[in-house]
Amino acid sequence: MADSYNCILQILEFQREATAEAGTDGNTIKITAHGLGGGDFIVNTTRRATSQSSAERGGRKVTFTDVNTLEVVGADITGMTEGDTIRLYSFIDRTEYLRAGSLSITKRAGGENEASFQIKSTYEAPSAFAYVYGGFSNQYLKETDEYNQTGDSWSSKTDMPDPARNDLTASTIGSKGYIYCGNDASRLKDCDEYTASSNSWSSKTDMPDPARNSANGTTILEKGYIFGGFDGGYINDNDEYDQTGNSWASKTNVSDTRMQSGVITIDDKGYLAYGWDSGLRRKTMFEYNSISNSWASKTDGPDPTRRNLAASTINSKGYVYAGFQSGTTAYKDCDEYTASSDSWSSKTDMPDPTRYILAASTVNAKGYVYGGYVSSNYADCDEYDQTGDSWASKTDMIVAKRNLVASTI
């Protein structure tokens, strides 16, 4: 499971304040950004329907330098009117604070017509907290435990809703944590939401059939995605969760059946690596483009083939950690994936012990791995420093456990 919240770092929403003509094919909205710093952005235009639902359009990746101009053209703005929005999704390192900048926007509709926009939401300070959910010790668990990076300390939070479970998956959407599916001696399709600010849980719409465990969850462009899993057989389902509507939609299936994989989000795409399929360990990698709803094969991960690994994203690089082969053979490998070059490189091994069925997340540009198992459950919490390619052991979790998941809020 990847902690993908760190990939969607800032949402700038620009909402038309003044009246302006509706967009038609061929019109252009020009956005000039000053002083925002460099970084890659995904741009979507959104039209508000009368039902208050919204439909995303566009979805082009652009790069802003200190001063740059983006044009959103043609069908991207067809039917836009007052109150519609344009969103920029930024993928700049969470540890960098974007400088406040001015924006001037011109909407052309048969001539130069000015439209005024305002910033509706701004960059927030990086989170310093990770959360681990559920798992198994000598029984199924429903604990929620918070890790404070600044104090290197753990505290117990409100338990997850029943049932206690392991083999679940998780992701963060906006400022909320989500857990999906799992196993409590029977397979589940639950979806539950955690609000850290109030330390409270609420149950959401169940995932589509089938109930499953050992699935692979991440977040891409403010939507949750669950890839594959096990429902008594290996599956390749791809289900999308819309937080705004509390609803699910089935998307293009994964290119192959897969469970117990590592999943990461880099910029606007999801990546599914390694895992277990039809009794075989894999090292293949698939890329999911949520905008085109399509899959593509990418470069295989380094040996060894493995399953029950963990993964996270640090500064637009994907990392996979540890994993399992068979019997008591587990690993402590740390491998880095660079999407721009579709390439892998091996990094410094994790600290002992070797382990699998562990969890991982990213907090303020540091990778963390939690728990795991080989012959016994572990409470280890280890921190990866990307800059120095080095590891440091941190305060152990409250309870040794395996088959847990984690996210950063």
Does the pLDDT value for residue 296 go beyond 50?
Answer: yes
> Could you tell me the residue ranges of all domains in the chain?
18-115, 124-408
Q: What is the CA radius of gyration of the chain?
A: 21
Give me the architecture of the 124-408 domain, per CATH.
6 Propeller (2.120)
- Collapsing DSSP states into helix, strand and coil, what is residue 75? helix
Percent of the chain scored above 70 by pLDDT? 69
Residues 6+ apart with CB under 8 A from 235: 210, 212, 228, 229, 257, 259
Does the pLDDT value for residue 316 go beyond 50?
Answer: yes
More confident position, 16 or 9: 16
pLDDT of residue 34: 38
Distance CA 13, CA 188 (A): 36
pLDDT per position as a tens digit, 327-348: 889 999 999 999 999 999 999 9
Distance CA 1, CA 33 (A): 34
Quote the pTM value. Answer: 0.76
Considering only 51-60, 73-82, 151-160, 383-392, which range has the smallest mean pLDDT? 51-60
Distance CA 389, CA 334 (A): 10
Cα dihedral 86/290/242/211 (nearest 10): 180
pLDDT per position as a tens digit, 186-242: 999 999 999 999 999 999 999 999 999 999 999 998 899 999 999 999 999 999 999
Distance CA 41, CA 267 (A): 8
User: No. of H helices and E strands in the chain?
Assistant: 0, 35
pLDDT per position as a tens digit, 166-186: 999 999 998 899 999 999 999
- Collapsing DSSP states into helix, strand and coil, what is residue 366? strand
**Residue 74 in contact with residue 25, Cβ under 8 Å?**
yes
Dihedrals φ, ψ of 75, to 5°? Answer: -65, -20
